[in-house]
Amino acid sequence: MSQKKCPRCGAVYAGDAKFCPKDGAPLVSVMEASGSHGAAGSTQIRMAVKPPPTPNDPAKTLRNQILDQRYQVVKKLGEGGMSFVYEAKDISTGESVAVKIMTPKLAQDKVAAERLRREAGLAMRLDHPNICRIQRLGETPEGLIYLVMPLLKGELLSDKEVRDGPIPLDVGVPWMKEVCDALSFAHEQQIVHRDLKPENIFLVPGAGGKIHAIVTDFGLAKEKRAEPGMAKLTATGIILGTPEFMSPEQIRGKLLDGRSDIYALGLVAYEMFSGRLPFEGKSAQDMMIARLRGQPLPLSKARADLVFTPAFEKALMKAIEAEPNDRYQTARELGDALEKAMAGGSGPGLMGKLKGMF
């Protein structure tokens, strides 16, 4: 009997399972998993895993159909454990949009459906140039629940990392500053993202070709002051998020605030600039344990062929302190610190250049 492995937590399953019951990640064959993630203990940039096909799923085959008498579906853009994302055209306006459709199986789950409705309610309030705002929540007569969002033209930060490797500081720091601005705005609205990762940061060309960072998928977003009716969705002890980027307090299932997002963004920046994560482990579970018990690898030791100034390393490492009180207390502080450390440095070492090139 074939075995499948969860690329997130490393658990192995036999039979016809398609998704990990622990974290919802799509499973891959053991052979495929071992061939795509490198040697044991590796902390290389994570490779995207395509979910296995889901037969007889009406949400999977909507191309060229008209959704809810309003959206002409053009093509599928991607899929995950909970949803399918399509490019569509709004017939009433002619606008191109992205439509995120919940899988019918999960749409029938009252808790999952409520989470999606909550996502829409929260994200509709987040009107910021660096946040992908949800425009509409709808439900078809057939019971398909969907979200409508702007269609972003560009690429995921995770895809750029896989293709190009570590990103120079003069390129990446402005993106981090924009993400910090977006998070700062959300935190001021009492909303915590809770699932910040490279796959949720979209790089979009703007005027003059300048690339801007857009934060997407507030699907796990949580109000710091949740209403009583939402308690079962955000209760302490229920761990939601992506294991590689969870803060220690999120791993422990504690109540979260904006400092948890700051920790996650610190890990995102560390990986973006060095090409690896600061905690080693054979699996995502091992790296979660390392975050609870160990110390992060200093940025200056992450890559022997890259050079970072002490000021920049200090600024970034503060974001991933284990104790929330030891981190930056606001996302704006983190963005300002990274920007100041880069501007105040001298020499190409600040830009994360290869040794021997200067």
Active site residues: 195
- CA angle at residue 165 from 30 to 355, to 5 degrees? 130
Residue from 179, 177, 259 nearest 224 by CA: 259
- Tell me, rounded to whole angstroms, the distance of Cα 36 from its chain centroid: 20
Render 331-354 in DSSP notation, one character per residue: HHHHHHHHHHHHHT--SGGGGTPB
Cα separation, 135 vs 127, in Å, equals 10
Find, among 171, 211, 181, 216, the residue nearest to 198 by Cα.
216
Segment 118-125 long-range contacts (CB within 8 Å, at least 24 positions apart):
118/221, 118/230, 118/233, 119/147, 119/218, 119/219, 119/221, 120/147, 122/191, 122/218, 122/221, 122/223, 123/218, 123/221, 125/189, 125/191
Q: 145: part of which helix (H) or strand (E)?
A: strand 145-150
Rounded CA-CA distance 296/26 in Å is 28
Cross-sheet strand order for the sheet of 155-156? 155-156, 201-205, 211-215
Question: Quick one: DSSP state of residue 109?
Answer: S
Contacts of 94 (CB under 8 A, 6+ apart): none
State the angle between helix axes of 258-274 and 331-343 in degrees (0 to 180), rounded to the nearest 10. 30
Contact 259, 324 (CB under 8 A): yes
